[in-house]
A and B are shown apart, each in its own frame.
Chain A
Amino acid sequence: MSKKTPAQEAGSQATKRRLGVVVVEPLSVVRAALCRLIEDDPGLEVLLAVGEGAAALDAIARVRRTRVVVLVSLGLDGEHDGPWLIRSIRERYPAYTLLAVGANADPTSISRALFMGADGFVDKSVEPAAFLDAIGYVVERDMVLAGPTVDTVGLIADGLERRRDLHAQLTRREQEVLMVAAEGLTARQIAQRLGVRERTVTTHLGRIYGKLGVGSRLAAVRIAARAGLVSVGTPE
Chain B
Amino acid sequence: MLSSHPVLQGVVRLAAEATEGIERIVLCDDAADAAAHLVKEPTCIVVIELDGGSVDPVRQVRAAGADARIIVLSNRIDGRQVLDAMRLGADAFLPNPDGLRNFDETLARVVSGERVFPPALEAEAVLQVGRLARQARDRSDVAPSITPRELEILALLAEGLTTRQIARGLDISPRTVENHVAKLYRKLEVGSRLQAVARAATLGLIELR
Contact = CB atoms under 8 A, between A and B. Distances in A.
B135 interface: yes
B137 A115 contact: yes
B122 interface: yes
Given A150-B122, A173-B144, A175-B140, 5 more contacts: A117-B137, A153-B83, A153-B86, A153-B129, A172-B143
B130 A114 contact: yes
Nearest to A158: B87
Query: Interface residues of B toward A: which range?
Result: 20 to 34
Interface of B: 83, 86-87, 89, 115, 117, 122-123, 125-130, 132-133, 135-137, 139-140, 142-146, 204-205
Given A117-B137, A150-B122, A154-B86, A164 B204 contact: yes
B115 A151 contact: yes
Contact of A143 (B130, B135, B144): B130
B145 A145 contact: no
Interface of A: 111, 114-117, 119, 141-145, 149-151, 153-154, 156-158, 160-161, 163-164, 167-173, 175
Contacts of B87: 154, 157-158
Contacts, number: 81
B9 to A, nearest CB: 27
Contacts of A168: 139, 142, 145-146, 205
Contact of A145 (B115, B129, B144, B146): B129
Nearest to B115: A150
Nearest to A144: B126
Contacts of A164: 132, 135-136, 139, 204
A72 B125 CA distance: 23
B126 A143 contact: yes
7 contacts: A115-B133, A141-B123, A143-B130, A150-B86, A154-B86, A160-B129, A168-B145
B127 A141 contact: yes
